[in-house]
Amino acid sequence: MEHLTAFFQEFALASTLALGLQVVLTVGVILRVVLTRHPPGSSFAWILLTLALPYIGFLLYVMIGEKPIGRWRAFKMKKAARHWNQVLSERPCNAHLLQRHAEHAGLLRLAQHLGHIPSSDGSKLELISQTDRVFMLMINDIAQARHNIDMEFYIWNVGGLVDTLSETLIQAAERGVRCRILVDAIGSREFLSSDWPHRFKEAGIHLSVALPVRFLSFGKGRADLRLHRKTVVIDDRIGYTGSLNMIDPAYFKKEANLGQWVDAMARVEGSAVSDLKLVIEYDWALQPDDEGRMPEMLDISPTPAVGSACVTVVPSGPSSMADANLRLIIEAVNNAKRRVLITTPYFVPGEALVMALQNAAIRGVDVRLCVPEANDSVFVRWASRRYFEGLMACGVHIMLFQDGLLHTKAITIDDELAIFGTVNMDNRSMHLNFEMMLLVFDNDFVSSLVALQEHYESRSLCVNPTTWHGRSFGSRLREGLCYLLSPLL
């Protein structure tokens, strides 16, 4: 009997301590959320999560609740920014571009301010929508490289065309071409556990891992900051960027039964290539094993003009101006007069962008949104659908792509300008990831992109507002629950 009494006393004490700890953690997180500048929706989501699951909410908030980049990384960024500014201070004035595109001069100024890179003319862009052709061109350019090859990707997978390209890289390194590859620690984890990193090292290819996750090293910044760029620069004269990771769609995530991933890339020549290279050098300067490479930014020479496209390279990340991508996209939508075409795989936009799209549709702009019917993120799939009814009520047309996972990220405005690159319309791309956008004024490129977006629409089902309004209670409930957590996605 005494043993039983002692057990209950110990249990009561442990329960009291656990309850006290739970209250302390919950109150601590709520106070921190209230005192820290979060968007209202994000603040509400964190408070709701912490009240429902105090311990999990506390751990998640410590790891990913705020936007710190860490003291060490902040120091590296500040040092790299000095070299960045020195390079750009020597760039010629581009006032003539503001005059040439006077109708969009405000947007150009905003893009330059947000990305800290001046607009340039003298570029040639080719839009490539077939993955096989992207790899064919890239492999051919690598095979002809003479001096240097720089590549950075969120996902570097293995198998199929990727292995063929990797073999071509090894051959380039063996003939004396300097090759550097920067991959994200999370997105490329399968590749990093394969034998390819060892083969690259043996061939003399410099491979580095960006943003490694150290869950116990809280001083190094939040754990889910990711390098989401997909950029290639070859011999400082040819560049690639867009939505395609280093994957072969015939092999990538086949077990998910989503169909093949559908992407698009831009092959770039001319002035904008040096801007792509500048961003790559900046990313390398943040690597812990590349302290001595910061001065290489100063060695970037302007790429000779090829073509006449006006391009503004807009890199973004957690260290850049708050909401840089969101600001630029909203400004572009607000400036639209006739048509806005949006293609994105992940649509969890937030209220500010939703209102901009609604306002555009109300004032008579033809606003069309094309997203994939299938999605590799269940939460994003349901959360995105929570926005559909309000958008359609204002006249926005929504199309669900049926032929695979549409992964292209593109916006065209009035058939005159394009926003193209790696940016999704979700919280991560808008606020957290290291991303890359191109703001392009070029008739040929914009026309090609509009044609591609219309092709996507032809392979999509248009959502009927009446039918959508009558969807089941279960669907509405799933959408609502995921919507509450959407600021955390």
What residues are annotated to the active site?
Answer: 228, 230, 235, 407, 409, 414
The CA distance from 254 to 225, in Å, is 26
Distance from chain centroid for Cα 396: 24
- Which residues are paired to 151 by β-bridges? 181, 232
From the list 237, 375, 205, the residue with the least C-alpha distance to 385 is 375
Cβ distance 222 to 68 under 8 Å? Answer: yes
Q: Identify the three-state secondary structure at position 171.
A: helix
* Nearest Cα residue to 397 out of 451, 453, 446: 453
Pairing mode of beta strands 405-406, 261-262: parallel
Token pair 């991560």 is found at 428
- What DSSP assignment string belongs to 387-452? THHHHHHTT-EEEEE-SSEE---EEEETTTEEEEES--BSHIIIIISBEEEEEEE-HHHHHHHHHH
Which two tokens mark 207?
């491979």
The separation between CA 303 and the C-alpha centre of its own chain, rounded to angstroms, equals 26
3-state secondary structure of 341: strand
3-class DSSP state of 85: helix
In the structure, how many helices (H) and strands (E) does the chain have?
Answer: 19, 17
Residue whose C-alpha is closest to residue 388's, from 408, 368, 362:
368
CA dihedral of 35, 39, 40, 41, whole degrees rounded to 10:
-130
